[in-house]
Amino acid sequence: MTNAVILAGGQGKRMKSSKPKTLTEILGKPIIDWIISAFEEAGISNICVVTGYAREYLDEHLAGRYKTVFQAERLGTGHAVMTAAEFLRESPDGETVIFNGDAPFIDSETIKNSIEHHKNAKNAVTVITAELDDPRGYGRILRTPDGISGIREQKDCTPEEAKIREINSGCFVFDTRALLETLPKLTRNNAQGEYYITDAIEILLSEGKRADACVAPNQDIVLSANDRAGMLVLNETARRRVIEKHLENGVEIICADGIIISPDAEIAPEAKILPNTQIWGRCRIGAGSVIGPGSQLRDTTVGERSSLNAVVANCETVGSDCNIGPFVQLRPGAVIKDFAHVGDFVEIKNSVIGEGTSVSHFNYVGDSDVGKNVNFGCGSLTANYDGTVKARCEIGDDSFIGCNTNLIAPVKLGRAAYTAAGSTITREVPDGALGIARSRQENKENFAEKKLARHLEKGKKFREQND
């Protein structure tokens, strides 16, 4: 079995956050989740996360999905792996991948290729490396004809060694039994007084075991950040990578200004993403749909050939051939079915809008089941909350809701029901019936002249001054 140990105990003081550094988000996704996703895609599910600073946040975030162990004292990378020794002893056969929890851009192909290289070469340890044009600040890989002889830190390099471009990424593949045998041999005989996992390489070599390195084609695996400015760089790097991936897959982006797309989003070829659009979480967008400009979607599914212009949607489902916006909010539980139209300044919450239905403008639809081919007039709403209980409205197929209608839930409109403009409907309207709930107009002579005396005087003075 292949194990994974993620070292996530660091505080990241310069982040100035109450949470662990590994919960800092890149494109709305915590760093730890970027790393876990890569391991899952590589087929590794036996994962242990070593926590430290503010561990309660990580424990809550992982919510029992993976084992966590607590590193009470931060005494180096070797000490962090020692904390996970019991986890390793549960699955001692096979390999263990060790990875720093603050480098989000590890990818599944690099993990799989490194494990395969490790097995084929029968290594005790394999260092995952990268080749950089500017390797300054990184430990250099010292290669031999039969593997590697160690890792030389920048400050200890000779002039020739400083020219080496292959560097240590901080990710290792160990034979698990060899790692368990080596951990007790690590010492703190260094200036920092810490246990270093890199010392395990020297120990294994001294015992005649084989150490090697596997170069990752993805240079970004070494990228991490120590402060908010560094996080900005990571976010921009990730944003560019995600956009490039979708462009390669046939998504149309005519201008990338303001576009943010989650790494977990799925966008079909021939969809179009317009500027200033944010797509967060696990969104799914169908072919031919146009999202934006100025839309913000989170965990939302959109069918094919739909248009969402200046729409805010959170955990919603939009069908195919829909036209929504501008200035529409789709709140949790909204389901917009095929061929529906939702116009400007509309809010829909926990409601189903049937096929071909039009909710044109200035409407609120909450906790309602709306049938097919229904028309909402301007300014209509469902009053779904009485201050204590939320109730639902039911609106049948082919109904017509007149302008400024208030539907007081719970209320039902039958098939092809009609409500008169300005009505407040509190009782059922049967199939094919007209519901009228408004008082007869009455005009009171001379009332306005008395009521508006001050207003009329003000208008008179304004006209005199400006004539």
Element (H, E) at 453: helix 453-466
- Per DSSP, what are the bridge partners of residue 376? 359, 401
Q: Are strands 95-100 and 166-175 parallel, antiparallel or unpaired?
A: antiparallel
Instruction: Name the token pair of 85.
Output: 């020794």
Cα 346 to Cα 381: distance, rounded to the nearest angstrom: 10
Known active-site residue 361: yes
φ and ψ at residue 379, rounded to 5 degrees? 80, 15
Buried b (16+ CB within 10 A) or exposed e, 283-303: bbbbebbbbbbbbbbbbbbbb
Look-up of token digits 């956050």: 17
Cα 58 to Cα 337: distance, rounded to the nearest angstrom: 38
Catalytic residue among 79, 117, 341, 361: 361
Please count the other Cβ atoms lying within 10 Å of the Cβ belonging to residue 316. 25
Residues with Cβ < 8 Å from 184, sequence gap 6 or more? none
* Closest C-alpha among 340, 379, 378, 348 to residue 365: 348
Cα 294 to Cα 8: distance, rounded to the nearest angstrom: 36
Q: Tell me the catalytic residues.
A: 361
